[in-house]
């Protein structure tokens, strides 16, 4: 039975969300989740921005259920949208990774600030105070995702996978 492209994309989205959750749970860095950004880059390349955002939302929600703050969601959902927009306009994977880095590392941090003040009692200060915590994680994960895409492009593996998902 032939599967529709949207069903394939939903299945791959769920798999990528699960991969991000497992990697972020198994490989722990204090206050960092670089594998979320790694998976965001891969998801945007393979599926597009909306499915990438869905994978980030699913993983972030699971991480929240495991005791993380709302930053697990707010910090990860902006990056795939910006990355996807840049990639769609330029087809440049370096700009895709940069979009994830800026979207999650800076815009995600700014989006998280009001939630942390309102719901978690963080003392109000500078809106940008979360950026130093978000940006290193987003940078490491985005670069890992970019390297993975570039290395698998040489073998043609990732493009074959992308074609199968979208067929």
pLDDT digits (tens, 9 = 90+) for 65-113: 988 888 889 988 999 999 999 999 999 999 999 999 999 999 999 999 9
HSE, side-chain direction, 13 A CA sphere, residue 54: 12
Segments making up each domain of the chain, as ranges: 5-166
Q: What is the dihedral of CA 8, 10, 88, 80, to 10 degrees?
A: -150
pLDDT tens-digit profile of 1-48? 566 779 999 999 999 999 999 998 887 777 678 999 999 999 999 999
Write down the pTM of the prediction.
0.93
Q: Are 100 and 80 in contact (CB under 8 A)?
A: yes
Helices 34-47 and 71-90: crossing angle in degrees, nearest 10, is 40
Question: What's the CATH fold of domain 5-166?
Answer: Arp2/3 complex 21 kDa subunit ARPC3 (1.10.1760)
Residue 58 to residue 15: CA distance in whole angstroms: 10
Q: Using CA atoms, how far apart are residues 20 and 14, in angstroms rounded to an integer? A: 10
Nearest Cα neighbor of 83 from 102, 56, 66, 65 is 102
């Amino acid at each position: 039975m032939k599967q529709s492209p949207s069903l394939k994309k939903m299945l791959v989205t769920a798999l990528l969300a699960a991969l991000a959750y497992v990697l972020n749970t198994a490989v722990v860095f204090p206050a960092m989740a670089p594998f979320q950004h790694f998976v965001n880059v891969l998801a945007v390349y393979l599926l597009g921005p909306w499915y990438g955002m869905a994978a980030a939302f699913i993983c972030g929600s699971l991480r929240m259920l495991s005791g993380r703050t709302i930053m697990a969601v707010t910090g990860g959902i902006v990056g795939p949208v910006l990355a996807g927009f840049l990639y769609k306009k330029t087809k440049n994977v370096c700009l895709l990774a940069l979009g994830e880095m800026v979207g999650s590392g800076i815009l995600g941090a700014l989006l998280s600030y009001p939630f942390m003040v309102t719901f978690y009692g963080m003392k109000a200060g500078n809106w940008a105070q979360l950026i130093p915590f978000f940006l290193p994680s987003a940078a490491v994960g985005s670069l890992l995702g970019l390297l993975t895409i570039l290395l698998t492009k040489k073998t043609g593996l990732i493009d074959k996978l992308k074609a199968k998902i979208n067929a």
